Amino acid sequence: MAFKVTLTDTSGFSSTELDKLDQAVAIWERVWNSDEFKARVLGFGFNQTITTGTWPFRKKENRFCPYFRMTSETRIQVYNNLLAGSERLNPGDNGVADISITLDKRDGKSVIGYTYANTRMQWIYSDWFRSVTPADIAGNLAHEYCHKLGYSHEFNYNALRSFTVPYIRMSLNIIRFGGSRPLMRSEASLGSLRKSFRREKTANERGCGRLKTGL
Ligand SMILES: [Zn+2]
C-alpha cells in the first residue's frame, strides 16, 4: 500500500500558495514511497567514538551504531511506522499522513514554523514558505510529521541530533526527487539547509520540547 499525504485542513493559504503546498506534498509522497528512501532508513546508522579498556590501555574506537537515536525501535519498525500514518492524535494505520497546516503571516523572525504536542495543527511562517522551494517545504512537512508520530530529538541544536528520526536527512533525499536539482545540493545550499535546521530551534523546537515532555 502506498504512503499518501492528505491535506485535511489548510488555513491562510492563497490559491498560488496552495499549489506550492500540493507540489511539496507530491514530492514527499514520491520520496517516502521510493526504494531509495526505504534503503536509507533500513540501512541507517552513524559512527560514534567510544573509549574502551582501562588505563593505561584505554583506546578510542569508532563504532557503527545501526539504529536511530532517541527511539527504542529498530530501523524496520521505524520504516513501517513512518509509512503507517498512525499519528498519536489520530491513531490508526491507514497509510495516510493527515496534515493540518496554517500559514502564519506574522513576522517569523527567521523561524520556519512551530507546532505543539496537543494539536494536530502545525504552523508555517509565510516569509519562509515563500522564500523556499517545494522540496524544502516537503522536508519541513516530513520533519514535523515525525513529531506527530511521536519521534523526537534534542531541544538544542547539536550534531547528534541529525541521527534522530525527524532528521533522517529526508530533506536531502527529497531534493533528489525535487526536479530542479537532480542529484545532490551544492555545498552552498547544504550550508543554508544546516542554517535552516539551526533556525528551526528558536521557535519550532519550543514546540518539539513540549512534544518531548508530552511523551
Ligand atoms: Zn523538530
SS3 165: helix
Supply the pLDDT for residue 92.
82
Question: What is the distance in A from the centroid of ligand 1 to the CA of 209?
Answer: 8
Q: How far is the CA of 144 from the centre of ligand 1 (A)?
A: 6
Does residue 199 carry a pLDDT above 60? no
In the reported structure, the alpha carbon of residue 52 is separated from the centroid of ligand 1 by a whole-number distance in angstroms of: 33
Cell triple for 126: 509565510
- Please answer whether residues 13 and 105 qualify as being in contact, where contact means their C-beta atoms are separated by less than 8 angstroms: no
Distance 53 CA to ligand 1 centre (A): 37
Alpha carbon of 39 to ligand 1 centroid (Å)? 23
Helices (H), the chain: 15-32, 35-42, 75-84, 126-131, 134-148, 170-176, 187-214
Residue 101: band (very low, low, confident or very high) from pLDDT cuts 50, 70, 90: very high
Minimum mean pLDDT among 26-30, 90-94, 136-140, 180-184: which range? 180-184
Q: Which of 28-37, 64-73, 128-137 has maximum average pLDDT?
A: 64-73
For residues 52 and 102, give the distance between their C-alpha atoms in angstroms, rounded to a whole number. 50
Q: Could you report how far apart the first and last alpha carbons of the chain are, in Å?
A: 29
Q: Could you tell me the maximum CA-CA distance found in the chain, to the nearest angstrom?
A: 68
- Whole-number Å distance, alpha carbon 85 to ligand 1 midpoint, is 18
Q: What is the grid cell recorded at 114?
A: 512551530
Under the banding of pLDDT at 50, 70 and 90, the label for residue 203 is very low
Predicted TM-score (pTM) of the model is: 0.77
Q: What percent of the chain is modeled with pLDDT above 70? A: 78
Residue 81 region, left (φ>0) first, then alpha (ψ -120 to 50), else beta?
A: alpha
In this structure, what C-alpha cell is assigned to residue 128? 519562509
Instruction: Tell me the C-alpha distance between 68 and 45, whole Å.
Output: 7
What pLDDT, on the 0 to 100 scale, is given for residue 190? Answer: 39
Between helix 15-32 and helix 35-42 the angle, nearest 10°, is: 60
pLDDT grade for 169, boundaries at 50, 70 and 90: low
Which residues make up the environment of ion ligand 1, defined by Cβ < 5 Å? 208
> 4-213: what fold?
Collagenase (Catalytic Domain) (3.40.390)
Average pLDDT, the chain: 79
| pLDDT score recorded for residue 98 | 92
- The pLDDT-based confidence of 136 (bands split at 50, 70, 90) is confident
Sequential DSSP letters for 121-133: EEEEEHHHHHHS-
In this predicted structure, which of 8-12, 122-126, 143-147, 181-185 has the lowest mean pLDDT? Answer: 181-185
